[in-house]
Amino acid sequence: MEKQETLDPSDWSSIREQGHQMLDDMFNYLEHIRERPVWQPIPQETRALFQESLPQQPGDLAVAHQTFMQDILPFSVGNAHPAFMGWVHGGGTPVGMLAEMLAAGLNANLGGRDQIPIEVERQVLQWMRELFNFPPSASGLFVTGTSMANLIGVLVARTAALGADTRRLGVEAADQNLVAYASAGAHISIAQAMDIAGLGSDALRLVPVNKQRQMDIAALQLAIAADRAAGLTPFFIVGMAGTVDTGAVDDLTALADISRQEQLWFHIDGAYGALGMLAPDIAPRLHGIERADSIAFDFHKWGQVPYDAGFILVRDGMQHQAAFASPAAYLKREARGMAAGSPWPCDFGPDLSRGFRALKTWFTIKVYGAEKLGQAISNTCALARYLAQQIEYNSELELLAPVSLNIVCFRYRCADSDRVNADIVVQLQESGIAAPSTTTINNHLAIRAAIVNHRTCRNDIDALVKATLAFGKTCCKNAANGKR
């Protein structure tokens, strides 16, 4: 038989050995992650390594791996590290990492067809119906993240409001102008979803928030009444289950009631907060979430599944399918054979080819179990309360927003506060000691610690406070002397 060149190795024993080395290196990385800085500035030479021209000739796997270890691994953003508290990033787990390798080896495409990988995705869907108390007719889909899940929520609600013809005719043809409502603390992806859906981001009303940074219910009712009086068509209310800047949770029961009275679609942006349902002490805070028409959330945040793993859950699976299913000759369904098993995941979203995100999620839930994942979520909230206490004990520090879940917004007290606190955050990040980010609260720049990682512990909080006080002292003094 003629021997044909493929991309597989001619010598499996050497790739096997190299592969074991790669696996060991990643176990070592995770086992000893505390000994590393969270993040470090990237040297110019390192950046330059990734500006070479297209390689024409084969390279050595061991050399590429060495480049990874030396020049890639140390310079990621560091969200696997326990002292990472910037933005809202999950920490990942060794189990998720292994599952990702298995998924890549199988190279399954979950757009459709009759295959067990899709049953794994349906299993996760079934678990989510159970967690959120949704009916068996509810549908769901893995997507990149909550930005995409929010978009799907808006599109399903839009098609439900205007009818399936809108998909053909466009929103211009409709004789209604749809408007939506979310709190002023809503994530930007909701306005983007309105834009992409052709409704325009101006059609999203950002309703003012109360002291707890929850949507002001009276203001919402006024806004709906004003829009109706102006001849517009309210169609969509977003409830926040954990806002990205402070972790505020809207009064979801009140929003569910208003959605029902006004016959509006009730969508939840629960990007990280929705999985608080796994934690017995947090779940009651989310009361009302079980009444939503759709819930967007991420397994890659509080669920600790490696990136990316977003999810959209829709109460009425038929409405979900009606917003996306499209006939195509090459996607014909059969009762038997590989083209069986309809409807397929591609009938519920814009993606046709889709990876096996479900596998790392299935492994994470099977291996750790709901209780332990919930415990990790509770712990991050307890750490946030602990950090808030430390801030209250230190007169140099000031809390800028109530701590609702796992996010703490605070500042170092100083005359030139915004500039000094921005400096403190940069210095913290560059020191590698801790990595918070910033946000703006009531026009003040805040140091924002979002505690999401299951590895974070009290020592990390203590180190953050200690370093903030030290950097604050020098930054504040320098600002007073006109230096930076």
Ligand X SMILES: *Cc1c(COP(=O)(O)O)cnc(C)c1O
Contact positions vs ligand X (CB under 6 A): 88, 145-147, 187, 189, 242-244, 269, 271-272, 298, 310
Shortest distance (Å) from residue 334 CB to ligand X: 35
* 269 beta partners: 240, 296
Cβ nearer to ligand X, comparing 139 with 147: 147
Q: What is the dihedral of CA 130, 135, 141, 143, to 10 degrees?
A: -70
Q: Is the dihedral of CA 447, 244, 376, 250 positive or negative?
A: positive
- Integer Cα distance of 143 and 149 in angstroms: 7
Shortest distance (Å) from residue 303 CB to ligand X: 11
Shortest distance (Å) from residue 213 CB to ligand X: 12
3-class SS at 438?
A: strand
Shortest distance (Å) from residue 309 CB to ligand X: 9
Q: How many other C-beta atoms lie within 10 A of the C-beta of residue 429?
A: 22
Residue nearest to ligand X (CB): 145
Q: How many other C-beta atoms lie within 10 A of the C-beta of residue 133?
A: 11
- Integer Cα distance of 129 and 138 in angstroms: 7
Cβ nearer to ligand X, comparing 255 with 476: 255
Cβ nearer to ligand X, comparing 79 with 243: 243
Strands 444-450 and 310-314: what pairing?
Answer: unpaired
- Integer Cα distance of 429 and 437 in angstroms: 9
Q: Is the dihedral of CA 144, 147, 150, 152 positive or negative?
A: negative
- Integer Cα distance of 300 and 91 in angstroms: 8
Shortest distance (Å) from residue 282 CB to ligand X: 15
- Integer Cα distance of 277 and 266 in angstroms: 18
Shortest distance (Å) from residue 300 CB to ligand X: 7
Cβ nearer to ligand X, comparing 108 with 143: 143
Shortest distance (Å) from residue 240 CB to ligand X: 6
Cβ nearer to ligand X, comparing 88 with 433: 88
Q: By C-alpha distance, which of 317, 267, 369 is closest to 125?
A: 317
Cβ nearer to ligand X, comparing 39 with 272: 272
Peptide bond before residue 24 is cis, with ω within 30 degrees of 0? no
- Integer Cα distance of 409 and 89 in angstroms: 16
- Integer Cα distance of 297 and 63 in angstroms: 39
Shortest distance (Å) from residue 50 CB to ligand X: 24
Cβ nearer to ligand X, comparing 268 with 475: 268
Cβ nearer to ligand X, comparing 112 with 273: 273
Shortest distance (Å) from residue 180 CB to ligand X: 15
Cβ nearer to ligand X, comparing 187 with 205: 187
- Integer Cα distance of 223 and 219 in angstroms: 6
- Integer Cα distance of 370 and 283 in angstroms: 13
